[in-house]
Structures are given as C-alpha cells and as structure tokens.
C-alpha cells in the first residue's frame, strides 16, 4: 500500500530569519511503521514534523505523502491524511469551546453534523476528556489542552498520525493511556519526543536528528540502547534501560541489554497476540470465518512464543 507512505528526499528548509533548520533530510516511512524522532533541543524535530502535512514547505528537496508530492496545491489533500499534533497545544486550539475545536477538522472534511457529533464524542472519550466539552480551551490546564489537541486530530481519523512531544504535559496515568492508545493505532505513526521510554514502548524505528540532518536511523531498540550515540546527541539511555545492569561507570553489559530487550519483545508479543485475537473476533462478526480462523491460529502461535521468551529470559540470568 502506498497511501500511508511518507518520504523525504534531500529536504532543506530555512526560516525567514535565515536559520537553516533542515539540511538535507532523507528517509522513507512505509505503511504501518511507527517511528520515533529524537534529538537535542533545536535539532530540527518540530520543523521536520511540520513538513509532513505541509504546514511548512521545503526550500528544496521533495516530500511525498501517499501518492502525492507535497506542494502548495496538494497540501489541502495531504492534510486529510496526516493528523499533526503540534508541540504546543495552544497552536492547535483556537475555537470558543473544546467541542467546537475537536469538531473543526471533521466539519472541514464535509462530514454530516450527526457523524461529526459521533467523531467528537468518540475522540474526547478516547482521551478521557468528554467532561471538558463545553469549556473554552484557554481555561484548560496544560495536560488537558494536550489531551484535547490529540482528540482534535483523532476525530479526523487520519491515516498517518504525527505527534510532537505528545506526553510532555501529561501526568503518569494519562501518559500510560496515551502509550496504550498509540500502540493500538495501527496506521503509520511519527512521534517526536524527549521521552525515550515512550519511544521505546511505542516505536519500532527511531531516527535521530542532529543539526537538521539525520544522524542515525534504525531499530529503536538498537539506537536507544547505544549510550555513546545518545550522548553525542544530548540524550540519555531511556530510564527503563538505565535501571538495570550498569557496571559502575561502564556500559551495560550485552547480556543485560539482551535481557531488557527480551522483556520488551515479550511484552509486545503478548500485546500483538491480543490484537490478533480481537481481529479474529471482528472478522467472525463480519461473516469472514476463514479469515477469522487464520487470525485465531496466528494469535495462538504468537501466544505460544511466550514460553520461548520466558526460557530466553531465564538463560540470560
């Protein structure tokens, strides 16, 4: 499927004051990938994300989203696909009430008033903010604003979700809820964050941006356990990796690292098995018994992998 692809090719961008914020960025994100974008303050993460839906346009280079090359002309179309949540929720919320803010996108998509109502209630319920629906957004706390900003994008049911520091104002429980929501969002996700634990939890791939360029691009587990690479980019190991197995002053030993990775993989395995199970039930209720049976088999085989993970964890001790 090409319609969820985001590809940057040698993208350069300068702000009007001459700051060159992107200096030849290239990557290709394919359907269903979840990608963390990390890097020091001022490295260019937000600038990069604001290019994904044409909020900013490159000075040179090309950006392709789905089947469209991003241009001034195509960006209206692209915005229907790409839901961008800004780093600062105040940049996103501008209507008199929360309800109107969340309804703004779906109304612009031309949905019927009834459908808009449903989308708004569903999105606000998902982020636990339905009770805020009649409040003016500027009266909300920082975390409440973040949740509503997320709802305003979810309500448009985007194919590609792009979030800039989504957890920075959230309390631990809301942060956990966001992680769970992101794990269940099966389309393409691009998430810029200094919360490397969140990135490790949600993203299989990670891109490090340094001085407006891609400094590293690979599997999140590999990149986020590379202390030297992280330190070169003003970053630190995710807390979950710091907690265990560091020799005094030295790097985490490889087996300890593997132990952590296995725990992480095992957790995802269980999660995936549950998802296959859910889809098996859905397929059955949609009158697709063969598909349902196959998904059930995939769920069972995935669950049976748990024993291998347990064994491997034991062998790491």
Ligand X SMILES: Nc1ncnc2c1ncn2[C@@H]1O[C@H](COP(=O)(O)OP(=O)(O)OP(=O)(O)O)[C@@H](O)[C@H]1O
Q: How far apart are CA 147 and CA 128, in angstroms?
A: 8
Query: Are the C-beta atoms of 192 and 37 separated by less than 8 Å?
Result: yes
Part in contact with ligand X (CB under 6 A); list of ranges 17-25, 102-110, 142-150, 248-256: 17-25
Q: How far apart are CA 283 and CA 123, in angstroms?
A: 24
Contacts for 214 with CB less than 8 Å, ≥ 6 apart: 25, 26, 27, 207, 208
Q: What angle do CA 119, 124, 130 make, to 5 degrees?
A: 120
17 sits near ligand X (criterion: CB under 6 A): yes
Distant-in-sequence, close-in-space partners of 241: CB < 8 Å, separation ≥ 6: 200, 224, 225, 252, 257, 260
The site partner of 47 among Mg ion, ligand X, none (C-beta below 5 to 8 Å per kind) is: ligand X
Point out which span in 1-9, 14-22, 195-203, 279-287 binds ligand X (CB under 6 A). Answer: 14-22
Report the alpha-carbon distance of residue 10 to residue 226 in Å, rounded: 26
Measured CA to CA, the distance from residue 264 to residue 262 in angstroms comes to 5
| Binding positions for ligand X, 30-49, rule CB under 6 A | 39, 41-47
Residues composing the chain: 317
Identity of the residue, 87 or 292, whose beta carbon is nearer to ligand X in the bound complex: 87
- Among residues 123 and 167, whose Cβ is nearest to Mg ion? 167
Q: Please tell me the count of residues contacting ligand X according to CB under 6 A.
A: 13
* Locus of tokens 């196959």: 294
Which of 87/129 has CB closer to ligand X?
A: 87
Interaction of residue 87 with ligand X, rule CB under 6 A? yes
152 binds Mg ion (CB under 5 A): no
Question: Closest distance between ligand X and the C-beta of residue 260, in Å?
Answer: 26
Piece of the chain touching Mg ion by CB under 5 A; list 8-16, 60-68, 85-93, 236-244: 85-93
Q: Does 21 bind ligand X (CB under 6 A)?
A: yes
Given Mg ion, ligand X, none, residue 15, with its beta carbon under 5 to 8 Å by kind, binds ligand X
- We find the least distance from the C-beta atom of residue 207 to Mg ion, in angstroms, to be 14
Residues 44-73 that bind Mg ion (CB under 5 A): 45-46
Contact 32, 186 (CB under 8 A): yes
Which residues 6+ apart lie within 8 Å of 268 measured at CB? Answer: none
* CA separation for the pair 228, 223 (Å, rounded): 10
Of 87 and 292, which CB lies nearer to Mg ion in the complex structure?
87
Binding mask of the shown chain, residues 185 to 224, with x at each position contacting ligand X by CB under 6 A:
----------------------------------------
Given the complex with ligand X, which of 13 and 276 has the nearer CB atom?
Answer: 13
Residues that bind ligand X (CB under 6 A): 15, 17, 19, 21, 39, 41-47, 87
């Amino acid at each position: 499927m090409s319609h969820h692809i985001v590809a940057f090719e040698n993208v350069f961008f300068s702000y009007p004051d001459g700051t060159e914020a992107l200096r030849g960025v290239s990557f290709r994100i394919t359907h269903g990938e979840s990608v963390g974008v990390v890097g020091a303050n001022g490295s260019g993460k937000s600038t990069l994300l604001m290019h994904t839906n044409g909020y900013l346009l490159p000075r040179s280079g090309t950006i392709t989203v789905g089947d469209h090359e991003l241009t001034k002309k195509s960006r209206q179309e692209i915005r229907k696909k790409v839901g961008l949540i800004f780093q600062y929720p105040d940049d996103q919320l501008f209507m008199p009430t929360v309800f109107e803010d969340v309804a703004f996108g779906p109304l612009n998509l031309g949905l019927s008033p009834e459908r808009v109502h449903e989308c708004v209630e569903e999105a606000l319920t998902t982020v636990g903010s339905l009770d805020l629906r009649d409040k003016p957004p500027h009266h909300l706390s920082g975390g409440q604003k973040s949740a509503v900003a997320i709802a305003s994008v979810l309500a448009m049911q985007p194919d590609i979700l792009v979030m800039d520091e989504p957890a920075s104002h959230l309390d631990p429980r809301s942060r956990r809820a966001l992680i769970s929501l992101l794990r269940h969002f099966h389309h393409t996700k691009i998430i810029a964050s200094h919360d490397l634990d969140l990135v490790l939890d949600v993203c299989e791939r990670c891109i490090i941006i340094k001085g407006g360029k891609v400094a590293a691009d690979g599997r999140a587990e590999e990149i986020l356990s590379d202390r030297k690479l992280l330190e070169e980019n003003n970053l630190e190991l995710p807390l979950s990796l710091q907690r265990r197995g560091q020799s005094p002053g030295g790097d985490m030993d490889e087996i300890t690292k593997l132990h952590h990775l296995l725990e992480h993989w095992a957790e995802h395995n269980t999660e995936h098995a549950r998802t296959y199970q859910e889809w098996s039930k859905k397929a059955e209720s949609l009158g697709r018994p063969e598909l349902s049976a196959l998904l059930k088999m995939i769920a069972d085989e995935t669950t049976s992998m748990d024993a291998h993970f347990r064994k491997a964890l034991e062998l790491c001790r």
